[in-house]
A and B are shown apart, each in its own frame.
Chain A
Amino acid sequence: MKSRRPFLMAALVALSALPMLAHAQAALDEIMSKKVINIAIPTDFPPYGYVGTDLKPQGLDIDMANYIGTKLGVKVELVPVTSANRIAYLQTKKADLVISTLGKNPDREKVIDFTAAYSPFFQAVFASKGLPIKSAADLAGKTVGVTRGAIEDLELTKIAPPTADIKRFEDNNATVSAFVSGQVQVIATGASVAGNMMARNPALGTEYKFVLKDSPNFIGVAKGEDKLRLKVNEIIAQAKASGDLDKMATKWLGRPAGDLPN
């Protein structure tokens, strides 16, 4: 009899831990039973998420949210968030997933979990289709517009050949104006700014040339929701294999998703 005591204790401990465990892993089951998933999306960050002329959110992140909803076979409730409060929405269970151009870093990993990357975010060089530019060396002798002090400015300054004429502007608006009006031949900027610019000025025939810095986006899930995380990872892996991720990135950012980290 004596020997059964530790076993009993262990069973008790395991039993008492069960509800907690079940709770931590409950998100996916809850989504499937309610047939609704709450997904936090940006509405102030074109082309990833913004409000269109019909006042409905649209963008790459919204497409991705709907894509995941379709694959799960549930209804998607979009929850607009800002970059400052998106993690709080996840922590307080106001959202099951955050698809909001979320970059992965060690500080964030302490409070939430990340799925595989689903879309690229990058600073890159863009120019008209007629301009043959494949690498930094091809910028020689060209005028390049960039926003002073931005990440792309620092990266560009490192790699641009000395004969490249880098024109630094005060803010993204001035940089984009300079490019759109033809004052600079090439623009180095973030994917978001470039995507928006290309959508509004299709006549320019602007295309992606080469990347300056990659910082892909991940989907955030609440800490410990491994079942949901693995399910979303599965969907992302399938979307990657079927080319759906590439299609989405090409539609909104003008370049394929490319090789995204898991």
Chain B
Amino acid sequence: MVALDFGAVLVQWPALLRGAAFTLGLTAVSAVLGGIVGVACGWARAWGPPWLARLVGVYVELIRNTPFIVQLFFIFFGLPSLGVKLTPELASVIAMVVNLGAYAAEIVRAGIENTPRGQLEAARSLAMNELQVFTRVVLPPALGRVWPAMVSQIVIVMLGSAVCGQIAAQELSYAANLIASRNFRGFESYLIATAIYLGLAIFIRQLLNWAGPRFIFGRVATR
């Protein structure tokens, strides 16, 4: 039995803290931008013109049927061949936004398509234009309906950001890897990283469950 030495890892707490903060920041930016992409694409697929719906469909299927790490490597290692050079941080954000956007699009579309017909007819009979109907009558209750799924997807993307360390983005698992490669305390490093990820996931879930009804879609009856 190997003696465990958590002190050797915990002494590196500034690196772990920086990594956790980086992961959180990466997730926050990606969630906001990815959410916007998701709503736009969800609208396009449910209500948009057929050509746009089909285009978005291609995007959604392409992203949802390929591994995240391949998307990330394509952006970081592949795009420079086309003259697009991105920092690891920017490449990570783009990969996460593109990824979350595709999943969020399907989640939002499900919410939009479940809008009761009567609600739409009522809105139109009040002489609202299509934009007003979408932003005031359709979208808020739609988001309310799919919010739990949306929160889960954001947490999944946060956990998925662990692979961004592979392109030297200095997030939490990058910090854990670095510590483990320096003091060979792999078990302790990854156990601590796991605990931090768990804490982050619970925090994000609670925060979004609290913030959603208050700031994103208002207090709506979801059923």
Interface residues of A (CB under 8 A from B): 145, 148-149, 153, 167-170, 174, 177-178, 181-183
**B167 adjacent to A169 (CB under 8 Å):** yes
**A148 adjacent to B166 (CB under 8 Å):** no
Assuming A148-B178, A149-B181, A149-B182, is B166 touching A178 (CB within 8 A)? no
Interface residues of B (CB under 8 A from A): 76-78, 80-81, 85-86, 88, 165-168, 174, 177-178, 181-182
Tell me the minimal C-beta distance from A109 to chain B in angstroms: 27
A205 to B208, CA, bound (A): 51
A168 to B177, CA, bound (A): 10
Tell me which of A145, A148, A170, A182 contacts B85 (CB under 8 A): A182
Say what secondary structure dominates the interface of chain B: helix
13 additional contacts (CB under 8 A) given A149-B182, A167-B168: A149-B181, A168-B174, A168-B178, A170-B177, A174-B77, A174-B167, A181-B78, A181-B80, A182-B80, A182-B85, A183-B85, A183-B88, A183-B167
A170 to B81, CA, bound (A): 21
Tell me the minimal C-beta distance from A156 to chain B in angstroms: 13
**B181 adjacent to A174 (CB under 8 Å):** no
**A183 adjacent to B177 (CB under 8 Å):** no
Tell me the minimal C-beta distance from A203 to chain B in angstroms: 12
Which A residues lie within 8 Å of B168 (CB)?
Answer: 145, 167-169, 178
A50 to B131, CA, bound (A): 66
Which A residues lie within 8 Å of B76 (CB)?
Answer: 178, 181, 183
Which of B85, B86, B181: most chain A CB closer than 10 A?
A: B181
Tell me the minimal C-beta distance from B73 to chain A in angstroms: 8
A167 to B77, CA, bound (A): 14
Which A residues lie within 8 Å of B167 (CB)?
Answer: 169, 174, 178, 183
A13 to B182, CA, bound (A): 57
Nearest residue in B to A168 (C-beta to C-beta)?
Answer: B168
A153 to B178, CA, bound (A): 11
Assuming A167-B88, A169-B166, A174-B167, is B181 touching A181 (CB within 8 A)? no
